Every structure is written in structure tokens, then in C-alpha cells.
Amino acid sequence: MEPGLPSGPEGPALPPEHPSRRGMFGAEGSGDTSGYGGLVPRDTNPVRGASTPRPWAEEFERLDEEVGSALREAGIGYEDAVEKVVVDRGQMTIFIKREKLAETAKVFRDDPALRFEMCTGVDGVHYPEETGRELHACIQLLSITHNRRVNLEVACPDDDPHVPSITETYPSANWHEREAYDFFGIIFDGHQALTRIQMPDDWPGHPQRKDYPLGGIPVEYKGATIPPPDERRAYQ
């Protein structure tokens, strides 16, 4: 529990700007025995509203000012590029409008006050309940010069799953973007060779999406199959 956060019968009482949900993934009646079903995590899903209310920690306030200044110097308005900022659990996530992602990534790398030289990962996330923003690409940046990290996040709709590639700025994002394409179906425009990286080239669908079937899909080794969820062993 966080300091200063009162507890209630259902777990910590959460501030109104962070609605809560039960369980690690919000699933009920799954026969889960891991203990995750008893969690009451805060929901920081960006569909919930605006930026995290200020004041933030001093380091994040300073970084936000530096981002605004760097974007203006590059001829990109802060409001034109940034949708919102979420500060939670010691991390800062800046949501970028997808049409501005490629040029914004260059600013984060090249501006002397920012100098995020490394991209350490690009992850996909699927929020099927977020109409018009179902797919998210989450980008982790590291500044060796200033010894700090920041996350960039961009959303796109299911029916237009296109996001600009950042591989021209961060070559290390190459395989990460391929994995996000393979598992979630996010198409990174401008990627040099956007092909599957784990699944076979002819594999149907994108298996880490939440609307992908959980079982009953034939696998390629030894003719085995994965039983549907209701036929698997469950401990009650």
C-alpha cells in the first residue's frame, strides 16, 4: 500500500483519478490459483481521462519542461505532439500523437537537455474496450548522459493499426517492432523488414491480442493440440 493511502475492505482506497479493478487482468471465474485474483490494482489506462494531476515529483516536472522546450525548438508544438502525461509508481509515460511519433523520437534522442540515446524496448498492448485506440505501442527510452528513463506511448485503432517506425532514429527498435507486429498486429510504417519474428510466416492472427482464442489451436510439434480453457484442469 502506498503511504497516505487509506485501506478499505476491498483493499486500498484509491483516489478518484485512478479507478481500481479486481485481479491482475480483470478476469473473473477463471479458476486462477495464483493469488493474483485478490489484487486491487490502480487503473491508469489512458482512456480514463487527462494527465495525472500535478504536482509531480520534481524530476518529472523538470523533464516535462525540458520536453516542451525541446519540442518548441524543433518547431513541434507541445500540444501538437503530446496527448497526455501519466506519472505513476515512479515512472513517467508521455502519450504521443501517432502522426508525430517519428519526429518526436528524434527530438528525444538529439536535444542536449534530453539526450535519450537508447531505446531499450517497444511493447504492444491490446485494450479491446478502448474504442478507436485499441492497440498501443509502448516505447522505453534511456538517457545515459542524464541517467534517467522515460516511456513514450502511442495508440492506434484496430481498423487502422499503423504507427510510424522509430528504427531510423533507434535501430535497436528493429526486432522489438517486429515482435509487436507479430503478436499484436501493429504495423510500423517505414520499418525496413516488418516480418514475423517468433511465429511462422503463415500463422493466422496475432496471439497476444485479448481477442485471440486461448486454446484448441493445433500446434506444429508432434501433432499436439492445446485444449480449450473449459477442458483444462482447474483447482477450486
Query: For the segment 86-143, what is each residue's pLDDT rounded down to a tens digit?
Result: 998 899 999 999 999 999 999 999 999 999 999 999 999 999 988 999 999 999 999 9
pLDDT for 121 equals 97
* Grid coordinates belonging to 90: 515512479
What whole-number distance in Å separates Cα of residue 60 and Cα of residue 85? 10
What whole-number distance in Å separates Cα of residue 146 and Cα of residue 62? 12
List, as one string, the DSSP characters of 34-91.
SSGGG---B---GGG-SSPPSP--HHHHHHHHHHHHHHHHTT--HHHHEEEEEEETTE
> CB pairs under 8 A, 24+ apart, for 14-18?
14/40, 14/42, 17/48, 17/49, 17/52, 17/53, 18/42, 18/43, 18/44, 18/48, 18/88
Structural domains in the chain, sorted by start: 54-216 (3.30.460.80)
Sequence-ordered list of residues with C-beta below 8 angstroms from that of 214, at least 6 positions apart, any chain: 228, 229
> Does the pLDDT of residue 58 top 50, yes or no?
yes
Note the pTM of the prediction, 2 decimals. Answer: 0.78
* 175 contacts 120 by C-beta, under 8 angstroms: no
> Does the pLDDT of residue 4 top 70, yes or no?
no
Tell me the CA distances in angstroms from 127 to 55, 60, 185, one per residue in order.
28, 26, 13
What whole-number distance in Å separates Cα of residue 174 and Cα of residue 235? 42
> Does the pLDDT of residue 156 top 50, yes or no?
yes
Sequence-ordered list of residues with C-beta below 8 angstroms from that of 86, at least 6 positions apart, any chain: 44, 46, 51, 52, 92, 93, 95
> Is pLDDT larger for residue 8 or for residue 154?
154
> Does the pLDDT of residue 182 top 70, yes or no?
yes
| Mean pLDDT score across all residues of the chain | 84
